[in-house]
Every structure is written in structure tokens, then in C-alpha cells.
């Protein structure tokens, strides 16, 4: 990092996305977007039809992923995204961003 540059603020979240988000490529598209943003974490289907994810990295990149989750891939119909903030210093996440089965 060059002299005078601030260290980026790190952020870690857990989100649950509800709507038509299973069977539409939501997990794969989320993983692609998270990797593009340089985030660590995971995404997985939930038994109740939701998709859950954790993501960590620079705060602006995490915010961009949360915004993307509200839209999702073309076939998804997102009804709600619930986001919980987690301690950024929690145990490290898998890197790169992975899809959990």
C-alpha cells in the first residue's frame, strides 16, 4: 500500500435471500459476482427454499454484493434480503468464495 493510503474498512455479513431463488442459478451467479468483487465466503441453499450466504472483504465490495443479491440472476425473483453484520475479525472464511452443497 502506498504511503498516505488508508487501509480499506473490512466488513463481514450473513444474508438470507427469499423468493424464487432456488433452481434458477442463484448460487452460481452469487459465487461468480462475489469472486468478481474479490470477496471470501460461501453460499448455500436452505431447506425452506431460501439461499443463505456469508461474505467478507472490503466494505464497498460487500455492499455491492448485497445490492446485487436484491436483484439476483435473470430468472430469480427476490422477495427479501435480510442482512446481519458479523464481526470482521471472526475466523477466516473459505477463499475464494465457494458454493456449499
8-63: per-residue pLDDT in tens? 799 999 999 999 999 999 999 999 999 999 999 999 999 999 999 999 999 999 99
Highest mean pLDDT among 4-8, 62-66, 87-91: 62-66
Q: Is residue 32 part of a domain?
A: yes
Over range 64-79, report the average pLDDT.
Answer: 98
Select from 6, 71, 76, 65 the least CA-distant residue to 32: 65
CATH number at residue 45: 3.30.70.100
pLDDT for 52 = 98
Residue 91's pLDDT band, with cuts at 50, 70 and 90, is confident
Residue 101's pLDDT band, with cuts at 50, 70 and 90, is confident
Q: Is residue 8 part of a domain?
A: no
Q: So which residues are the catalytic ones?
A: 27, 45
Domain that holds residue 57: 24-99
Q: Is residue 16 part of a domain?
A: no
Q: Is residue 28 part of a domain?
A: yes
pTM to 2 decimal places: 0.89
On the 0-12 / 13-18 / 19+ scale of CB atoms within 10 A, 73 is middle
DSSP letters, 12-79, are EEEEEEEEE-SSSSHHHHHHHHHHHTT-EEEEEE-TTS-EEEEEEEEHHHHHHHHHHHTT-STT-EEE
Q: What total of structural domains would you count in the chain?
A: 1
Amino acid at each position: 500500500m502506498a504511503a498516505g493510503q488508508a487501509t480499506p474498512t473490512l466488513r463481514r455479513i450473513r444474508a438470507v435471500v427469499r423468493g424464487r431463488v432456488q433452481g434458477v442459478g442463484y448460487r452460481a451467479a452469487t459465487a461468480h459476482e462475489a469472486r468478481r468483487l474479490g470477496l471470501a465466503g460461501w453460499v448455500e441453499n436452505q431447506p425452506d427454499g431460501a439461499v443463505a450466504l456469508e461474505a467478507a472483504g472490503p466494505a464497498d465490495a460487500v455492499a455491492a454484493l448485497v445490492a446485487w443479491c436484491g436483484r439476483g440472476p435473470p430468472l430469480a425473483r427476490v422477495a427479501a434480503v435480510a442482512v446481519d453484520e458479523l464481526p470482521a475479525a471472526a475466523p477466516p472464511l473459505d477463499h475464494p468464495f465457494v458454493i456449499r452443497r
